């Protein structure tokens, strides 16, 4: 019988990036979300994707998931063209509640991540149970392991989704606002868990968020999207008044206080999700 616990991702002998985008463009009609995007995400890197509503953060993940085709340019994920159902990708979708009558306990949901979503009768050994227990423990879900998922709170359900996505030890982990509806302690715990997944297991993390502060200590680079433009760099390089003002095309103020970053004065048109009012242009 094959072991139920996945092995850590093998070192890539070629040292190739986990994700490679070249001259990538995504546009819906004449609305350009980004253009000329060149990006290598290396194994173990933690990339935060930031931007206002409608700037294209979720669309970026959809492209990596093979759910939306690039309008131009190329993309490989784990050395292959992006495609649906890639086993090397873990995905934490934007939060949706499970139906109250969903016939699945919390530990069963996490177990689906461990044994590859295979339905039907399976012999599940001690290694499987140990891995599920470990994941439940890591997200603080042990106390509700036997409760049907539909009866859990939004935050409790979210922690299970994170455990499920981490279960196969993915090469690439895509997270779409995973901290929404988590309290501060669980935001910290989940951020640390995802950060640890990157460092310890070489998983490349792409983390979409409106709020960089809870993940700041784990982030290597930021991809900041705004008004059809983007900029990429370390948080220290990107989160400055000068860089974000250039990106938004108007003066915004980036304040640093007690280790937190606050962006003040983003233009209404961008915050309203109508980025086409700003000219699409080159990367800042």
Ligand X SMILES: Nc1ncnc2c1ncn2[C@@H]1O[C@H](COP(=O)(O)OP(=O)(O)OP(=O)(O)O)[C@@H](O)[C@H]1O
Site residues (vs ligand X, CB under 6 A): 28, 33, 51, 53-59, 273
If one counts every other C-beta atom within 10 angstroms of the C-beta of residue 81, the result is 10
Short-list 223, 255, 4, 257, CA closest to 118: 4
Beta carbon nearer to ligand X, 53 or 153: 53
Beta carbon nearer to ligand X, 144 or 230: 230
Beta carbon nearer to ligand X, 220 or 276: 276
> Maximum Cα–Cα distance for the chain, whole Å?
62
For residue 76, the minimal CB distance to ligand X (Å) is 21
Short-list 63, 67, 50, CA closest to 24: 63
Instruction: Determine phi and psi for 233, rounding to 5 degrees.
Output: 175, -175
Helix (H, G, I), strand (E, B) or coil at 222: strand
Per DSSP, helices labelled H in the chain are 57-64, 106-114, 126-138, 154-166, 184-201, 235-238, 241-248, 268-271
* Helix 184-201 / helix 154-166 crossing angle, nearest 10 deg: 0
For residue 10, the minimal CB distance to ligand X (Å) is 33
Beta carbon nearer to ligand X, 148 or 281: 281
Beta carbon nearer to ligand X, 152 or 223: 223
Beta carbon nearer to ligand X, 197 or 209: 209
Helix (H, G, I), strand (E, B) or coil at 193: helix
For residue 68, the minimal CB distance to ligand X (Å) is 7
């Amino acid at each position: 019988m094959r072991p139920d616990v996945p092995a850590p991702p093998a070192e890539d002998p070629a040292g190739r990036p986990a994700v490679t985008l070249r001259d990538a463009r995504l546009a819906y009609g004449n609305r350009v979300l980004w253009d000329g995007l060149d990006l290598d995400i290396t194994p173990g890197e933690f990339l935060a994707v930031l931007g206002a509503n409608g700037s294209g953060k979720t669309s970026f993940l959809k492209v990596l998931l093979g759910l939306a085709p690039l309008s131009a340019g190329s993309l490989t994920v784990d050395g292959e063209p992006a495609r649906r159902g890639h086993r090397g990708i873990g995905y934490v979708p934007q939060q949706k509640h499970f139906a109250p009558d969903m016939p699945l306990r919390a530990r069963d949901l996490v177990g689906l991540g461990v044994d590859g979503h295979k339905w039907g009768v399976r012999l599940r050994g001690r290694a499987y149970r140990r891995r599920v227990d470990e994941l439940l423990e890591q997200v603080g879900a042990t106390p509700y392991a036997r409760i049907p998922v539909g009866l859990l709170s939004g935050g409790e359900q979210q922690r299970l989704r994170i455990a499920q996505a981490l279960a196969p030890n993915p090469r690439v982990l895509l997270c779409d606002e995973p901290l929404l509806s988590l309290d501060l302690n669980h935001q910290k715990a989940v951020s640390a868990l995802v950060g640890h997944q990157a460092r310890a297991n070489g998983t490349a993390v792409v983390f979409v968020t409106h709020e960089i502060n809870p993940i700041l200590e784990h982030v290597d680079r930021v991809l900041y999207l705004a008004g059809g433009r983007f900029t990429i760099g370390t948080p220290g390089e990107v989160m400055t008044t000068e860089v974000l003002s250039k990106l938004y095309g108007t003066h915004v103020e980036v304040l640093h206080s007690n280790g937190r970053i606050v962006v003040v004065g983003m233009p209404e048109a961008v915050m309203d999700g109508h980025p086409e009012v700003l000219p699409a242009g080159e990367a800042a």
